[in-house]
């Protein structure tokens, strides 16, 4: 089995689990050995509608940004990634340069990725890269539980950036 095997979808037919669809059958034939036993684990995915509602909410909040903040955050994704970093849903790396000048060059190079933030203190460069909110099964960095925690933290952070209380945001039920 490969190190990062993507989950397959199976259907219980009353007697055994069988892969659903030609794609999953072909993947199972390529990956598994006939007669060998494998352990299935349930995967709790965040629903597509739950995730879509979150991204719509971020976009709506971004559209209400004051003009002076729009220049800093030209897209809802950049603002969301900044919020992920500020709420701790990120990967932190520290690099040591030979001197401050080299540290500045390293920081400039590594922050070409718009979804990261770097600071320089002397010869130290600290880089924070926001985690992807794609689920692990889709090649991202989060499982469903971490996605839910990050979603709540990001919405609360963005609301505070707008100067509003999270409780005052419209909910799916009130929309």
Which pLDDT belongs to residue 2?
A: 43
Radius of gyration of the chain (CA): 21
Which pLDDT belongs to residue 79?
A: 95
- Across residues 163-175, what is the average pLDDT? 66
Please choose, from the candidates 89, 49, 76, 52, the residue with its C-alpha nearest in 3D space to the C-alpha of residue 158. 76
Query: Which tokens is 69 given?
Result: 């903040």
Which pLDDT belongs to residue 167?
A: 74
Phi, psi of 104 (to 5 degrees): -65, -40
Segment 147-168, tens digit of pLDDT: 999 999 999 999 999 988 877 7
Q: Answer whether residue 174 shows pLDDT above 50.
A: no
Segment 80-111, tens digit of pLDDT: 999 999 999 999 999 999 999 999 999 999 88
Q: pLDDT category, 175, cuts 50, 70, 90?
A: very low
Segment 17-50, tens digit of pLDDT: 888 888 888 888 888 888 888 877 665 555 777 8
pTM (2 d.p.): 0.70
In angstroms, the CA 18 to CA 166 distance is: 44
Q: Answer whether residue 126 shows pLDDT above 90.
A: yes
Q: Answer whether residue 1 shows pLDDT above 80.
A: no
Q: pLDDT category, 137, cuts 50, 70, 90?
A: low
Between 65 and 86, the more confident residue is 86
DSSP one-letter string for the chain? --SSPPP--EEE-SS-EEE-HHHHHHHHHHH--TT---------PPPHHHHHHHHHHHHHHHHTS-HHHHTT-SSHHHHHHHHHHHTT-EEEEEEE-SSHHHHHHHHHHHTTSTTEEEEEETTEEEEEEEPP-SBGGGT-SB-HHHHHHHHHHHHHHHHHHHT--GGGSPPTTT-
pLDDT above 70: percentage of residues in the chain: 87
């Amino acid at each position: 089995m490969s190190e990062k095997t993507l989950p397959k979808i199976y259907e219980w037919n009353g007697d055994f689990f069988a892969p659903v669809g030609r794609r999953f059958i072909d993947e199972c034939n390529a990956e598994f050995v006939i007669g060998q036993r494998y352990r299935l684990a349930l995967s709790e995915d965040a629903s597509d509608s739950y995730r879509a509602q979150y991204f719509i909410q971020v976009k709506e909040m971004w559209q209400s940004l004051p003009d002076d903040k729009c220049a800093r955050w030209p897209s809802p994704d950049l603002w969301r990634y900044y919020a992920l970093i500020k709420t701790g849903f990120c990967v932190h790396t520290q690099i040591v340069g030979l001197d401050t000048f080299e540290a500045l060059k390293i920081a400039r190079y590594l922050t070409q990725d718009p979804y990261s933030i770097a600071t320089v203190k002397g010869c130290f460069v600290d880089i924070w890269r926001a985690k992807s909110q794609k689920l692990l099964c889709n090649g991202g960095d989060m499982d469903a539980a971490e996605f839910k925690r990050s979603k709540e933290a990001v919405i609360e952070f963005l609301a505070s950036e707008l100067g509003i209380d999270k409780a005052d945001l419209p909910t799916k039920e009130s929309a």
